[in-house]
Amino acid sequence: MEQEPGVNGSQSLNEYLMQFYEFQQLDYPHMMEETDRAVCLMGRSDEDYLIMLYQLDSFYIEVFFHRDLQEITKFRAFDDTAMLEPYLETIEIPFAA
């Protein structure tokens, strides 16, 4: 019976988790594939872009959709939570008295 890697197998789960620097080395089609398996957290927008935030394994991915061009023009991967600041500013937490 074949064992699943990382489950009583010889390889650990960490060997299957992609790191943000590995993501940055991918070409555009592979970035799209990896983003498909990520969890969409939220979005924001600016004058030119709709920017969607995803979490994949231990890092985050921003996908930039250019409004005028109507296409994805950029990906940005990071693992520094300080980069989440633009998203945190949009979350409203109601005050309970």
pLDDT one-digit tens code per residue, 35-59: 999 999 999 999 999 999 999 998 9
- As separate numbers, helices (DSSP H) first and strands (DSSP E) second, the chain gives 3, 4
Q: What percent of the chain has pLDDT over 70?
A: 81
Residue 9 has pLDDT above 80, yes or no: no
Q: What pLDDT, on a 0 to 100 scale, did the predictor assign at position 95?
A: 73
